[in-house]
DNA sequence: AAATAAAAAACGGACGTTCATTTTTCTTGA
DNA sequence: TCAAGAAAAATGAACGTCCGTTTTTTATTT
């Protein structure tokens, strides 16, 4: 018979992982000691080993939980997109990606830890088959746009969408984590507009583009 | 009177730094011990301290030297670009960036170490004022293209060029270091063509684009 | 032999992990 | 209702190892 309820145990685990995550992010995996984690989590050193077999196990558990959290946020982001190929939607996605990077920069730092110390073993799936996933997600919308004649011929919409997604991500990561302060010489808002514009030009047919230009920004012509 | 010539001393330093760099990249900064470095460099532990005051000093020296090497490679890349706004040039840049990432993936790993353990102190300058630098580099070419009417109105060529540069870089980093095997669902060659196409559409005027489409790929129309 | 370089040994401390011990918690029997 | 006791949980000292750095010793060169 267990003396602690499952809920109480999970609470302890959460406390430990929160502490460990903060420390890993602040000072790296190797630089963080089990004693650091114990002290921050207000748990004895030995007791850590009642919850995790090794220090690595703590890292892996953090990643798995965090990954789920981020996956859910991404799911919400994409679920809010009705028409993925509308410039407005692209921009909206970029904005939400920016928020995700802002609010969870620690998660991406964990990814770099993973790249360096675990050959990105835990994060590989973030990029694996990315285009295919978007195709599965929005395939019908892509098809509809194509039959409507909204798209340039010879340009695969799923690939453009993926490229836009990646560029938005990279833009904010560079700004947030790499100290590239305004590396595009634009404010975040302006950068979003600009990148959206680029991908819209790359994606849309001339007739469709004409609408975009007219409606959004007359200065562009 | 020194017993070792300056050249001999530099050789030792090079040997030590080569060993340290390999180890840092393979297992990270904190996971690499001075004893590891000594053994790999075939130098005694104590002797390391005749050449470097601390372990950090080794890391900084490596970065500074490597940075110079990469800067020189980048200089060569950009010096080979005559007409930065030609799609062909963009693609060429992308290809060379790909080679740079391939041949020096260790350098970019050092950057991630720097992000995690030194808040990117040593690499900040890689992204700082990037657009300005391209403007300074190719400003006259950009102006010429504008007056020739090659460009879309309302699209700053330096910004497009920077965005293209960043996207090429990011594409290859994801492929090489993050295990995103064919995350755009394209071969590297196809990805280069595709990304070039996107930025060309975003950058060039309709008349100029017509030339591009005709000359490069009739299938696109 | 004097100066420089290299090697080896030693230092104090911190590391991840283990383990004997103590404390807490809940069940049980009266 | 409540002490007894067993099981679970928590503790902190201890272990052996490795760490970055310093100091001492040895080798090499002029």
Weakest-pLDDT range from A103-117, B44-58, B69-83, B96-110? A103-117
Of B52, B75, B91, the domain-final residue: B52
The tokens 């833009």 sit on which residue? A171
Weakest-pLDDT range from A137-146, A161-170, A181-190, A209-218? A209-218
pLDDT tier, B109 (very low <50, low <70, confident <90, very high otherwise): confident
d(Cα A69, Cα A11) in Å, to the nearest integer? Answer: 17
Residue A99 has pLDDT above 50, yes or no: yes
Asked if strand C contacts A35 at the CB level, meaning under 7 A, the answer is yes
pLDDT at B14: 95
Weakest-pLDDT range from A18-22, A116-120, B109-113? A116-120
Asked if residue A149 and residue A70 are part of one domain, the reply reads yes
Asked if residue B193 and residue B151 are part of one domain, the reply reads yes
pLDDT tier, A169 (very low <50, low <70, confident <90, very high otherwise): very high
Residue A215 has which token pair? 């409606």
B131, A185 contact by CB (below 8 A): yes
Please give the average per-residue pLDDT across A26-45, as a whole number. Answer: 92
What percent of chain B lies above the pLDDT cut of 90?
61
Residue B204, φ and ψ in degrees, nearest 5: -95, 150
B165 vs A115, higher pLDDT: B165
The DSSP secondary structure of chain B, one letter per residue, reads --SS-HHHHHHHHHHHHHHHHHHHHHH-STT--HHHHHHHHT--HHHHHHH-SSHHHHHHHHHHHHHHHHHHHHHHHHHT-S-TTSHHHHHHHHHHHHHHHHHTHHHHHHHHHHHHHHTTTTTGGGTTTHHHHHHHHHHHHHHHHHHHT-B-TT--HHHHHHHHHHHHHHHHHHHHHS--TTTTSS-HHHHHHHHHHHHHHHHB-HHHHHHHHHHH-TTT-
pLDDT tier, B161 (very low <50, low <70, confident <90, very high otherwise): very high
Weakest-pLDDT range from A70-74, A121-125, A208-212, B182-186? A208-212
Asked if residue A14 and residue A114 are part of one domain, the reply reads no
Q: What is the CA radius of gyration of chain B?
A: 22
Asked if residue A166 and residue A191 are part of one domain, the reply reads yes
pLDDT at B218: 44
d(Cα A128, Cα B185) in Å, to the nearest integer? Answer: 9
Residue A62 has pLDDT above 50, yes or no: yes
Q: Is A216 on the interface with B (CB under 8 A)?
A: no
pLDDT tier, A134 (very low <50, low <70, confident <90, very high otherwise): very high
Q: Is A197 on the interface with B (CB under 8 A)?
A: yes
The DSSP secondary structure of A136-148, one letter per residue, reads HHHHHHHHHHHHH
pLDDT at A205: 67
Residue B59 has pLDDT above 90, yes or no: yes
Q: Judge: B154–A217 Cβ closer than 8 Å, yes or no.
A: yes
Closest listed residue to residue B194, CA positions, set A164, A147, A139, A140: A164
| A3 CA from D1 C1′ (Å) | 22
The DSSP secondary structure of A95-136, one letter per residue, reads HHHHHHHHHTHHHHHHHHHHHHHHTTTTTGGGTTTHHHHHHH
Residue A122 has pLDDT above 90, yes or no: no
Asked if residue B82 and residue B20 are part of one domain, the reply reads no
pLDDT at A174: 95
Asked if residue B154 and residue B212 are part of one domain, the reply reads yes
* Nearest CB to A180 within list B127, B163, B171: B127
3-state secondary structure (DSSP) of residue A151: strand
Q: What is the CATH number of the domain that holds A131?
A: 1.10.357.10
Q: Range of A83's domain?
A: 62-216
Residue B10 has which token pair? 């530099």
pLDDT at A216: 54
Asked if residue A92 and residue A9 are part of one domain, the reply reads no
CA distances (Å), origin B221, targets A82, A155, A208, B210:
29, 10, 16, 8
* Nearest CB to A178 within list B28, B127, B155: B127
Q: Judge: B115–A167 Cβ closer than 8 Å, yes or no.
A: no
pLDDT tier, B213 (very low <50, low <70, confident <90, very high otherwise): low
Residue A147 has which token pair? 């039959």
Please give the average per-residue pLDDT across B116-139, as a whole number. Answer: 90
Q: Judge: A180–B217 Cβ closer than 8 Å, yes or no.
A: no
For the stretch B173-212, pLDDT in tens is: 999 988 888 999 999 999 999 999 888 887 776 676 666 6
Q: What is the CATH number of the domain that holds B101?
A: 1.10.357
Which residues of chain B neighbour A195 with C-beta distances below 8 Å? 163
In the complex, which nucleotide's C1' lies nearest to the CA atom of residue A42?
A: D10
């Amino acid at each position: 018979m267990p003396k602690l309820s499952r809920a109480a145990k999970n609470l302890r685990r959460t406390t430990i992982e929160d502490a460990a995550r903060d420390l890993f992010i602040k000072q790296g995996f190797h630089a963080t000691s089990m004693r650091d984690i114990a002290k921050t989590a207000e748990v004895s050193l030995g007791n850590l080993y009642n919850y995790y077999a090794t220090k690595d196990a703590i890292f892996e558990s953090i990643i798995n939980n965090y990954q789920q959290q981020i996956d859910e946020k991404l799911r919400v982001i994409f679920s809010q997109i009705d028409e993925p190929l509308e410039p407005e939607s692209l921009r909206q996605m970029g904005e939400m990606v920016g928020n995700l990077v802002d609010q969870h920069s620690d998660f991406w730092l964990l990814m770099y830890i993973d790249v360096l110390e675990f050959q990105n073993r835990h994060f590989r799936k973030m990029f694996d088959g990315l285009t295919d996933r978007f195709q599965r997600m929005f395939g019908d919308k892509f098809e509809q746009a194509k039959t409507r004649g909204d798209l340039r011929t010879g340009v695969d919409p799923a690939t453009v969408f993926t490229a836009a997604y990646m560029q938005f991500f990279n833009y904010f990561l560079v700004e947030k984590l790499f100290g590239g302060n305004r590396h595009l010489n634009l404010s975040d808002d302006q950068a979003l507009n600009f990148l959206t514009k680029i991908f819209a030009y790359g994606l849309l047919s001339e007739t469709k583009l004409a609408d975009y230009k007219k409606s959004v920004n007359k200065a562009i012509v």
